[in-house]
Amino acid sequence: MKDLIRRRFAESIEVKQKTLQENLNNIALAADEIIRSFKRGGKLILFGNGGSAADSQHIAAEFIGRFQKERKSLPAIALTTDTSVLTSLANDYHFDLVFARQIEGLGKRNDVVIAISTSGNSKNVIAAVKQAKKMGIKTISLTGCGGGKLASLTDISIIASSSVTARIQESHICIAHVICEIVENHFSKK
């Protein structure tokens, strides 16, 4: 059991180190894009499926509430929280449109989207990014598995260096926390 624990921690550390080396500039660009959006009156829109849905909600909460410092609330919304909207869209249209339709109704030009998909191939996440691009909304992706189809569609792509879902998700939350900290530091200086 202890050997398994050591191996999993070692894997997580290795994936995060490689992810950092390969994505440092894009993580900084993502934080800058979110800061610019907030300064222009935009909001952050996050979405994904399963564990990525939970990550979307977690990160939206860090912006609306606080991450580590007291500061004004920052506008962020996870498109994964309204079960009535999600189920009506899946029923009346198609599950592939549950995020795209929300982007169409809630998104605006100064917003930023963070699309999360460990495989980079989630159809509903890809459809939402395409909708955001049509509307002139800046897009950021958090993926793994080499980026999948999603990475090439977004303005800024951050790809966790693994094909193991758990290691990808661990990297995603680390990346998101760093972005939260950078953005929060900017707005708490005032």
φ and ψ at residue 110, rounded to 5 degrees: -80, 0
CATH, residue 73: 3.40.50.10490
Question: What are the distances in angstroms from CA 67 to CA 75, 100, 107, 185?
Answer: 13, 28, 24, 10
The model's pLDDT over 149-177, given as tens digits with 9 standing for 90+, comes to 999 999 999 999 999 999 999 999 999 99
Token digits of residue 91: 């029923």
d(CA 88, CA 93): 8
The model's pLDDT over 111-142, given as tens digits with 9 standing for 90+, comes to 999 999 999 999 999 999 999 999 999 999 99
The model's pLDDT over 69-97, given as tens digits with 9 standing for 90+, comes to 999 999 999 999 999 999 999 999 999 99
Place of tokens 């929060």: 184
Please state the domain count of the chain: 1
pTM for this prediction: 0.96
Give the residue numbers spanning the domain of 55: 2-188
First to last CA, the chain: 49
According to DSSP, the residues that pair with 115 across neighbouring strands are 47, 141
Contact criterion met (CB below 8 Å) for 122 and 48: yes
Place of tokens 């191939």: 121
